[in-house]
Structure formats: structure tokens, C-alpha cells
């Protein structure tokens, strides 16, 4: 309970239609009743019913002080309709306005804005997790990600969270389809080669993966082994190796290949 510049009783009983336990009661005038909605204790709607009854019985100024995660928009709408103030923990300004008899919708609007922001952050985090889960096994285009998540999240949220993951380098643009659509996935993950990947993107993607694979290896790797690890055909790997060999980026050693240079800016 925050410090109050009021004389009254803490954790006391108030007689309404039934006896109610409140966290603070000031006899007034005007009477003021405060109920705290803590993180784990008490039922939100029972606390609201308590304050509604006390307000009806005494024409009291009734205030609910709530932990941010305990109140939602439905409860807040009901509280506003019945003239009950809602102040979130730590919001001393809203509490002061409520104690002084400010406009209920105006006071409660601060709690509503906070709740909306909390819900948006929670929804955004869930959406990012959804995108990351989809990319665990397959590299996907934005349209494919949207198709999987559109019934759970708004299109704008999906787009924004995809952009967020890109800016944080959690995922990267792996290449483009033959139609120019971006293909997204994890930086150091070897995905099966998409049949709709453009020729240029396919060559760039495989070159990067071959160099990354060889750079991380402690011994030469054969083209057969590379094909298995990169989930593509040996023909494709051999074509990439030939090009990289001409560029002096890889060298044949024993029964496999090793990397000669691997620029640090490569992903």
C-alpha cells in the first residue's frame, strides 16, 4: 500500500450489502475505500464487485490499486462504467487524481494505455517466437510466414516483427526466389535448397554455406560429405567447389577440401 496523506483504517472491514475486507478505508467525508489487487492474491472481479457494492452503499470514492499483470481491458471497462478508479502500482499521479475525486474515465485512461502497451509487447514477443519456430526447419518467404501466422496475429505485427528480427541479425535474407521474393532463415543454418530459389541466390547461398562449413571444420571435407551436410546434390556442391577453387578460396587436400580464405564479413 502506498503512503497516503489520509487518516483511516488499514486492512479493515466495511459493511456493504455484505461484509467486505478492504486494504484501506477513510470514513470521510467523502468516504474512500481502497482495494489492492496484488500479483498472486485475490480475484480481480471479486475485488471490483466489492468496490462497486461499497460505492453503492456509501457513495464512496472507490479505488483499485492493481499490479500491471492482474488487470485487463474488460475489467477496466467495467470499473469505469461503475465509477471505480483503477490506478496501476507505482502510478502516483493517477492515485492522487483518484483520491481528489478526478474524472474516472480520465484517471482510468492511464491504466488503459499501460495495459495496451503491455499487451502489444507480449503479442510482439509471441509473434517473434512464432516466426523463429517456423524457420527452425525451413527457409521461408514473408508470404509463407504470413500464411502460417495470419490467423494468430495481425499482418502489420507479423511484418514488423520480421523486420525486428532482421535488424537484430536473429535471422537474415538468405536469397530470393525466381520471382524476387526474399527468403529468410537463420545465419548459420543449412537449409534444403528451395527449388524456387533464383539461380544467382542459389549459387551465393551455397557458396556461403560451403565456405562456412569448411572454415569451421578441423579436417578436409569431401564433396560427398558436404552434400549430405548441406542437404543438396553432389553435382551442385562440385560446381560450387570448382568456382571457389578458381577464386583461390578453397584447396584440395587429401580426399577433401579446405578453406584458404574466408572474409570475416561473410555470414
DSSP state of 193: P
Instruction: With CA atoms as reference, report the closest residue to 65 among 105, 96, 30.
Output: 96
Q: CA-to-CA distance for 225 and 217, rounded, in angstroms? A: 12
Q: What is the pLDDT of residue 267?
A: 42
What pLDDT score does 262 carry?
62
The reply to whether CATH 3.30.1490.20 applies to domain 119-183 is no
Question: In the chain, where does the domain assigned CATH 3.40.1350.10 lie?
Answer: 9-111
State in words which class domain 9-111 has. Answer: alpha beta
Q: What is the pLDDT of residue 245?
A: 86
pLDDT at 265: 46
For 198-259, the fitting CATH number among 3.90.10.10, 3.40.50.720, 1.10.10.10, 1.10.460.10 is 1.10.10.10
Domain with CATH 1.10.10.10 in the chain: 119-183, 198-259
pTM, two decimals, is 0.64
Which residue, 201, 189, 175, 186, is CA-closest to 229? 189
22-33 in b/e burial notation, b at 16+ Cβ within 10 A? bbbbbeeeebbb
Core vs surface per residue 138-148: b (16+ CB within 10 A) or e? ebbbbeebeee
- What is the predicted pLDDT for the residue at 239? 87
> Residue 106 in contact with residue 149, Cβ under 8 Å?
no
Which residues, given as ranges, of the chain have pLDDT below 50?
264-267
Residues 161, 57: Cα–Cα separation, whole Å: 49
Amino acid at each position: 500500500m502506498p503512503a497516503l496523506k489520509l487518516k483511516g483504517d488499514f486492512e479493515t472491514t466495511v459493511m456493504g450489502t455484505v461484509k467486505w475486507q478492504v486494504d484501506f478505508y477513510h470514513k470521510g467525508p467523502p468516504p474512500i475505500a481502497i482495494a489492492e489487487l496484488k500479483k498472486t492474491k485475490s480475484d480481480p472481479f471479486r475485488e471490483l464487485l466489492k468496490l462497486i457494492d461499497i460505492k453503492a452503499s456509501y457513495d464512496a470514492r472507490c479505488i483499485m490499486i492493481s499490479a500491471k499483470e492482474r488487470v485487463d481491458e474488460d475489467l477496466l471497462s467495467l470499473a469505469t462504467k461503475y465509477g471505480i478508479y483503477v490506478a496501476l502500482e507505482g502510478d502516483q499521479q493517477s492515485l492522487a487524481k483518484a483520491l481528489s475525486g478526478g474524472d474516472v474515465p480520465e484517471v482510468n485512461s492511464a491504466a488503459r494505455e499501460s495495459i495496451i502497451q503491455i499487451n502489444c509487447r507480449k503479442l510482439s514477443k509471441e509473434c517473434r517466437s512464432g516466426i523463429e519456430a517456423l524457420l527452425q526447419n525451413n527457409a521461408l518467404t514473408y508470404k509463407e510466414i504470413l500464411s502460417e501466422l495470419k490467423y494468430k496475429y495481425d499482418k502489420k505485427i507479423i511484418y514488423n516483427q520480421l523486420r525486428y528480427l532482421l535488424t537484430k541479425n536473429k535471422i537474415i535474407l538468405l536469397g530470393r526466389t525466381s520471382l524476387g521474393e526474399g527468403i529468410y532463415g537463420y545465419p548459420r543454418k543449412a537449409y534444403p535448397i528451395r527449388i524456387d530459389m533464383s539461380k544467382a541466390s542459389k549459387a551465393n547461398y551455397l557458396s556461403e554455406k560451403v565456405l562456412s562449413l569448411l572454415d569451421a571444420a578441423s579436417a578436409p571435407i569431401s564433396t560427398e560429405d558436404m552434400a549430405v551436410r548441406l542437404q543438396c546434390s553432389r553435382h551442385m556442391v562440385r560446381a560450387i567447389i570448382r568456382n571457389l577453387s578458381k577464386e583461390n578460396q578453397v584447396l584440395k587436400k587429401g580426399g577433401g577440401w579446405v578453406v584458404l580464405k574466408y572474409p570475416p564479413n561473410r555470414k
